[in-house]
Amino acid sequence: MNTDAADTHSPHLDLDDLLTEASGQAISDRAQEHLAICWHCRAEANRWNLVAGGVRALAAAAPESAPPARPWQMGPRVLAGPKRRATLAASAAAALVLIGGASYGMSAALSGHAPGTARTGTKTAALTAVSGCAGLEQADGTLEQVNGTSLAIKTASGQPVTVTTTASTRASMFRAPLSDVTDGASVIASGHRSNGTIEAGNVSVGLPRIRSGQVQTPSGVASVQGTVSDASAAGFTVVTSTGTQVPVTTSSATRVMIFRASLSELQTGARTIAVGHAGPDGTLSAIVVLQSPWHGRLQVNGCSPASIDDAITTALISGR
């Protein structure tokens, strides 16, 4: 993280931090706090997360390869093309006895797991370990169906995951209608600033207060947190904790992020991330379900509900 005292205008995360975050590894508390409040760094982190997600999804989608031949059958490679393939196929068949479960091991290692987190059972192969809390898992894919309190998610590699929810499971989602932005709602509105007015690109409703109380944004873009008043079809006013009133305009392009939605509001066919604990039968008991364009890998600082909530909030406000 850039902490150069002489450079007070660029306290942003550096490439190392961004790559670390995209790799699902822990970044410093200071970097994490900055990420939670800085629009610019969240956007950059989200771009790297998307790239990392694409690479991981490609790796997860890699087909099974033929198991290796027995060592004594792997002589100097002199054959090529179809003839060699035939030789390999024959030796691979013999090798199956030796390798045993190798093909599953290969599949699990890249079927969505973080490197080094391959599991021993086939039923959890579609889940990804969440960095920072042992046992916390993430299913990332498309919502196929909502059946009462359970969800059916299909991962990018085509694996189905059943997600169960309880009354305490929180569902959060992005959606277009502005009807949730009503007087008294707690919001964060972000967008281009023009003559003291924010033209909102995103409005987050019901988010817990961002710790610093202020969101850093790149030049020309502003973000304000507070309570909605004078809500209308054209916009609303945000009253901050200090009483400052900031006019916000909205349009059909404004997206609204709902922090607490009901399961029935989730949209089938939309990208969905469920975070929770895997059961022995491979189902995921969800703590939270997100429908968000965010492509990052969730990272928590411990297993406490507050820590998980913090991480989810960061993920949500990182959504584009």
Partner 1 sequence: MNDPQRDAGATTLAASPGPTCDDAQLLRRIGQGDESAMAAFYREHGRVVFAQVLLVAGERVLAEEIVQDTMLAVWRGAGSFRGESSVRSWVIAIARRQTRDRLRGRRLRVVDDAFLADQPGSGPGPEVMALDRAELAEVMGAIRELAPPHREVLGLVFAAGLSLPEVAAVLEIPVGTVKSRLTAARTALSRKLNEKGQNR
| Residues engaged in binding partner 1 (CB under 8 A) | 1-4, 7, 10, 12, 14-17, 19-20, 22-23, 25, 27-28, 43, 46-48, 50-59, 61-63, 65-71, 74, 77, 84-85, 88, 98-102, 105-110, 114-116, 156, 218, 271, 293, 295, 320
CB of residue 162 vs partner 1: minimum separation in angstroms? 22
Please, are residues 41 and 12 in contact by the beta-carbon 8 Å criterion? yes
Considering the complex, state which of residue 102 and residue 234 has its C-beta at the smaller distance from partner 1: 102
CB of residue 216 vs partner 1: minimum separation in angstroms? 15
Question: In a 10 Å sphere around its CB, with 0-12 CB exposed, 13-18 middle and 19+ buried, how is residue 14 labelled?
Answer: middle
Considering the complex, state which of residue 156 and residue 284 has its C-beta at the smaller distance from partner 1: 156
CB of residue 85 vs partner 1: minimum separation in angstroms? 7
Considering the complex, state which of residue 66 and residue 152 has its C-beta at the smaller distance from partner 1: 66
Considering the complex, state which of residue 54 and residue 208 has its C-beta at the smaller distance from partner 1: 54
Considering the complex, state which of residue 112 and residue 226 has its C-beta at the smaller distance from partner 1: 112
CB of residue 316 vs partner 1: minimum separation in angstroms? 17
3-state secondary structure 116-165: CCCCCCHHHCCCEECECCCCEEEEEEEEEEEECCEEEEEECCCCEEEEEC
Considering the complex, state which of residue 58 and residue 306 has its C-beta at the smaller distance from partner 1: 58
Sequence length of the chain is 320
Spatial distance between the Cα atoms of 244 and 176, rounded to a whole number of angstroms: 27
CB of residue 77 vs partner 1: minimum separation in angstroms? 6
Helices 39-60, 29-37: inter-axial angle, 10-degree rounding = 110
SS3 at position 263: helix
- Rounded to the nearest 10°, the torsion over CA 5, 11, 16, 22 is 160
Considering the complex, state which of residue 72 and residue 264 has its C-beta at the smaller distance from partner 1: 72
CB of residue 284 vs partner 1: minimum separation in angstroms? 20
- Rounded to the nearest 10°, the torsion over CA 183, 187, 190, 193 is 40
CB of residue 60 vs partner 1: minimum separation in angstroms? 8
Contacts of 25 (CB under 8 A, 6+ apart): 131, 299
